Structure 1
Amino acid sequence: MIKLLLNTLYVQTQQAYLRLDHETIVVEVEGTKTLQVPIHHIGAIVMFGHVSISPYLLGKCANQGISVIWYDAYGRFLARATGRTSGNVLLRRAQHQILEDEKRMLHIASRFVSGKIRNSKSVLQRGMRDYPEKRLRLEQSVKQLDQSLRNIGKQTTLDELRGVEGYASSVYFEAFASLIRSDEDGFFAFTVRSRRPPRNPINACLSFAYSILTQDCISALEGVGLDPQIGYLHALRPGKPSLGLDLVEEFRPYLADRFVLTLINRKQLDKSDFDMRPGGAVFLNEKGRRTFLAAYQKRKQEEIQHPIINQKVPLGLLPHVHARLLARYLRGDIDEYVPFVMR
């Protein structure tokens, strides 16, 4: 899959080869030209997995200040090459300066929380359509989430905003159980979100999905030159990817929660995919992780019409698109960071 989004060329097609042809970038797959684009239209090249680039094109990119970023086939960040001049220093300076401005920190953090709550609401609204018999229960939770959205703008401190986010999360997960199709023995029953450790199979799946999504967001931030540890909603601690966790929030309901619901409700996972540990902890075993990851990688290839850039975007590139939008906002290139909200 090859996509040009926000002046960035994303190449996910395995065995693709990128080369320079005069002032254009040519992408070939098995000797066949699949794309040719003027190099002055490109601000960055992002490659996933077994994708090759010619030394001449790499040199041209370095000379023109075009970043080249490598990820492995699973989306883990590997490296970034830039020329002698790069905007990363100024970008990171802007990222750090916001830490000294509580008002701006609160504003950016509120965008992440707004995206999360709006997407949580959409998950429940979809449940209202899929399970009409549960409509009244879910409708009550949707109304509570609407109130949380209205409350975001009334908060004057980060702790108050985190309180709104925490309350909305508890409302959402109280209703989440209604979205799980009941099984005969109640193996996939869900009552409350438990994290360290997860206490039932649903929580095990959610925790695993969130850990994968967090790594995807960290990699996306590193790819655009942002420091994943300098965030605004999540408190700063040594080794904690605060900005990565910030970016995860808006994607949790759509990329993680809905995916877990699909796996469970379609019976793609069963009892044999989980290990029960002493003390009540539940984890996906090796067989379960293989099934989970195979389905997750397949879903990342699905495309949606992006509501902001008005282009079709593979789900796996959503964190990359929004990391780039966030970088543009922090640099002052755009007036506002708009979180991803599913339709």
Structure 2
Amino acid sequence: MKRPYYLFSNGRLRRRQNTLFFEKTAGERVPDDQDESGASSGTPTGERIPFPVEQVESLYFFGEVDLNSKLLTFLARHDIPAHFYDYYGNYTGTYIPRDFLHSGRLRIEQVLHYVRPKRRIYLARAFVEAATYNLLRVLRYYLNRLEGERQQHVAQAIEIVKAERAGLRETQEVAQLMGIEGRCRDAYYQAWPAILQDGPGEAFTFTRRERRPPTNELNALISFGNSLCYTTTIRQIHRTALDPTISYLHEPGFRRFSLALDLSEIFKPLLVDRTIFRLVKTGQITRKHFEPHLGGIYMNEEGRKIFVQQWDERLRQTVYHRQLERHVSYERLIRLECYKLIRHLLDPKQEPYRGWHMWW
């Protein structure tokens, strides 16, 4: 079975026939903004780690890795995307092979659903409705496990989200939908201190969501987790004939796969937020796993390794799918969401799209 490979060490990635080899190099990695030499990643240690290309679903580069155009051609031939992160764990970009699943009709329908306001607002509303519903599911899960003031804080957040969701049906502007989604998330994040306020979680302070840069440990966790969710969604979209640059809630723009932003909103509560809660509440992630830089707080390499390990386990976790009548992985749920969107785009009356809702 294919799976993603996460490379944290410095080195060089090579190929020999149908096998990839990662050759480790010695030396401490220098922050990207402090090294403009363009020199190779270090001195080879002689350690070589092989992995058959048939087992590789995608590659994640967190270390400083050298590769050449022949290697990229080889990855493209086997349809293996590569995702790159900088020294501080910020997502920097994706090398994605050219489309191998083409559908002219689907591409046309994607564009038509974007340029026709009623069709676009339907899909944008469905994304926000599903995303905010899943926020509520997470809040209700913890509501029944808390007491006193902590329970009251979560209950207040639930009422705010419910009130905001009540206005979804009448909303006819994408910007207004984005505003509803943003206010729901603000209320949701306000409940986080109550959820985490026991055991190891007491060491983490959190008042509001802050990005670029994240100003505390929880914001750093959210940013890193969201970037993993984004790249995971890109991978799943790439396995379909959908164009990842044509979106409906987020405005299509330059240098981003905006459809992945739309779809990942639905799965962040399950994949990102529940992973963060688990890591923090069990003490697997502590304040020692972060470091300051240029006015922000970022996860260090040890922290990113812990997060990625838990992330990979969560993607492989399964749940019984009532419509399919079989167990599917959490990652597979994203692919199924892509298929649902495709069916809607091709025949919106016969297969109207409804965003994925947590049922457990």
The 5-angstrom pairing of residues 126-165 of structure 1 reads 126-133=141-148, 134-165=150-181
Tell me the TM-score normalised to structure 1 length.
0.75
Q: Which residue pairs with 1:305 in the alignment?
A: 320
Q: Which moved more, 1:304-313 or 1:159-168?
A: 304-313
* Secondary structure of the corresponding residue to residue 328 of structure 2: strand
1:107/1:206 Cα in 2 relative to 1: closer, same or farther (>3 Å)? same
* Secondary structure of the corresponding residue to residue 151 of structure 1: coil
Alpha-carbon distance in 2 for matches of 1:307, 1:257? 24
Q: Which moved more, 1:163-172 or 1:110-119?
A: 163-172
Contact 1:94 1:330 in 2 (8 A): yes
Cα shift at 1:104: 0.8
Deviations 1:232-269 (A, max 9, x none): 10112111221110001111111111111111001111
- The yes-or-no answer on 1:341 pairing with 2:345 is no
Cα shift at 1:80: 7.5
Deviations 1:10-69 (A, max 9, x none): x4479xxxxxxxxxxxxxxxxxxxxxxxxxxxxxxxxx96349xxxxxxxxxxxxxxx98
Cα shift at 1:187: 3.4
Deviations 1:281-338 (A, max 9, x none): 1111111111111111112111012355443111122211111211121111752112
Q: Which runs of 5+ in 1 are unaligned?
A: 1-10, 15-47, 53-67
Q: Which amino acid aligns with 1:275?
A: E
1:69/1:196 Cα in 2 relative to 1: closer, same or farther (>3 Å)? same
Q: Which residue pairs with 1:217 in the alignment?
A: 233
Alpha-carbon distance in 2 for matches of 1:50, 1:199? 41
The 5-angstrom pairing of residues 277-292 of structure 1 reads 277-279=293-295, 281-292=296-307
Contact 2:201 2:280 in 1 (8 A): no
1:185/1:315 Cα in 2 relative to 1: closer, same or farther (>3 Å)? closer
1:12/1:179 Cα in 2 relative to 1: closer, same or farther (>3 Å)? same
Deviations 1:96-147 (A, max 9, x none): 1112211110100011101110010111101112213322221122122112
RMSD: 2.7
Q: Which residue pairs with 1:295 in the alignment?
A: 310
Alpha-carbon distance in 1 for matches of 2:200, 2:279? 17
Alpha-carbon distance in 2 for matches of 1:189, 1:307? 39
* Secondary structure of the corresponding residue to residue 352 of structure 2: coil
* Secondary structure of the corresponding residue to residue 319 of structure 2: strand
Match among 202, 208, 227 for residue 243 of structure 2? 227
Q: Which amino acid aligns with 2:127?
A: F
Q: Which amino acid aligns with 1:235?
A: E
Q: Which residue pairs with 1:319 in the alignment?
A: 334
Q: Which amino acid aligns with 1:332?
A: D
Contact 2:82 2:95 in 1 (8 A): no
Tell me the TM-score normalised to structure 2 length.
0.71
Cα shift at 1:184: 7.2
Q: Which amino acid aligns with 1:256?
A: V
Contact 1:77 1:223 in 2 (8 A): no
* Secondary structure of the corresponding residue to residue 144 of structure 2: helix
* Secondary structure of the corresponding residue to residue 203 of structure 2: coil
Cα shift at 1:168: 1.1
Q: Which runs of 5+ in 2 are unaligned?
A: 5-51, 57-76, 84-93
Contact 1:229 1:236 in 2 (8 A): yes
Q: Which residue pairs with 2:188 in the alignment?
A: 172
- The yes-or-no answer on 1:102 pairing with 2:106 is no
Match among 277, 281, 298 for residue 261 of structure 1? 277
1:270/1:180 Cα in 2 relative to 1: closer, same or farther (>3 Å)? same
The 5-angstrom pairing of residues 73-112 of structure 1 reads 79=97, 88-112=103-127
Deviations 1:61-92 (A, max 9, x none): xxxxxxx9845699x8865886xxx7611111
Q: Which residue pairs with 2:267 in the alignment?
A: 251
Identity across the alignment (%): 25
Contact 1:274 1:284 in 2 (8 A): yes
Q: Which residue pairs with 1:119 in the alignment?
A: 134
Aligned residue pairs: how many? 280
Alpha-carbon distance in 2 for matches of 1:105, 1:314? 29
Contact 2:157 2:188 in 1 (8 A): yes
